């Protein structure tokens, strides 16, 4: 399904969040009224104190009460802002133009914080991850030109550019990384993930280039000799 940035993808039951917003608004209104009265009282007390009709202790007490109400108002306002943010989070929107490639939740399903709901593909960018052998990365660097051929689109070659070479091999951060501490070492050629962006992708190409397709790449490496 194709969507535009800002389109609504899903809504979480927001009744609790709406109630929290209403409660926070009531607290802000109450704090505003109290703060307004306190400011008026402090103004009168300040006038009396300047004329010697009120003691310094009374003036200090009035100032302290005013500052306390200012703090409560700020806290109530912050709570309202937080409640509004939580309410906004109940509506899941598309972060950018793209395609919903996978839906991981159904209507009425309970989901936890951080649970994935959608697999989303950016329509503005296409890239290939090439796992090069460690013996093949010499001369490959960020900015190297690449020719990319996709199996699903025969006869078409896409120009690309190397964007990033991984700082580690693919095996370094696997679930069970290789452990050579025992001394039983078997040399295996490692592979380094290289991210290649496609430079010229039309709207039609974006529809054809599905995430996960297989591709062949030809990297124009820098010669060191």
pLDDT in tens, 22-61: 999 999 999 999 999 999 999 999 999 888 888 899 989 9
Q: Residue 97: inside a domain, yes or no?
A: no
Mean predicted lDDT score pLDDT of the chain: 86
Task: Render pLDDT for 54-83 as a digit per residue (tens, 0 to 9).
Answer: 889 998 999 999 999 999 999 999 999 999
Closest CA to 131 of 196, 182, 179: 196
Task: Render pLDDT for 153-203 as a digit per residue (tens, 0 to 9).
Answer: 888 899 999 998 887 776 555 555 556 555 665 677 888 899 999 987 777
Query: What is the domain-level CATH number for residue 158?
Result: 2.40.30.170
**Residue in this structure with the two tokens 């609790």, named with its chain if needed:** 16
Tokens (6 digits) for 206: 């974006």
Query: What is the domain-level CATH number for residue 53?
Result: 1.10.287
Q: What is the pLDDT of residue 175?
A: 53
Global confidence as pTM: 0.60
**Residues 210, 136 share a domain:** yes
- Encode 41-62: b = buried (16+ Cβ within 10 Å), e = exposed: ebeebeeebeeeebeeeebeeb
Q: Residue 117: inside a domain, yes or no?
A: no
Q: Which structural domain range is residue 135 located in?
A: 125-219
- Taking the C-alpha atoms of residue 189 and residue 191, their distance in angstroms, rounded to an integer, is 7
């Amino acid at each position: 399904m194709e969507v535009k940035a800002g389109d609504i993808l899903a809504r979480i039951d927001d009744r609790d969040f709406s109630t929290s917003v209403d409660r926070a608004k009531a607290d802000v209104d109450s704090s505003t009224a109290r703060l307004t009265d306190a400011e008026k009282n402090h103004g009168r007390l300040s006038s009396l104190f300047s004329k010697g009709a009120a003691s310094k202790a009374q003036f200090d007490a009035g100032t302290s009460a005013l500052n306390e109400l200012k703090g409560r108002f700020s806290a109530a306002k912050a709570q309202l802002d937080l409640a509004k943010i939580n309410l906004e989070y109940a509506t899941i929107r598309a972060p950018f133009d793209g395609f919903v490639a996978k839906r991981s939740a159904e209507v009425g399903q309970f989901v936890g914080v951080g649970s994935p709901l959608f697999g989303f593909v950016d329509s503005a960018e296409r890239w290939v991850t090439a796992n090069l052998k460690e013996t093949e990365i010499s001369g490959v660097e960020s900015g190297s030109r690449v020719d990319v051929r996709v199996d699903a689109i025969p006869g078409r070659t896409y120009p690309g550019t190397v964007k990033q070479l991984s700082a580690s091999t693919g095996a370094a951060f696997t679930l069970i990384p290789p452990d050579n501490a025992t001394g039983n070492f078997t040399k295996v050629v490692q592979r380094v993930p290289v991210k290649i962006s496609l430079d010229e992708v039309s709207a039609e190409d974006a529809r054809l280039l599905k995430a996960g397709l297989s591709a062949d790449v030809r990297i124009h490496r820098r010669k060191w000799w």
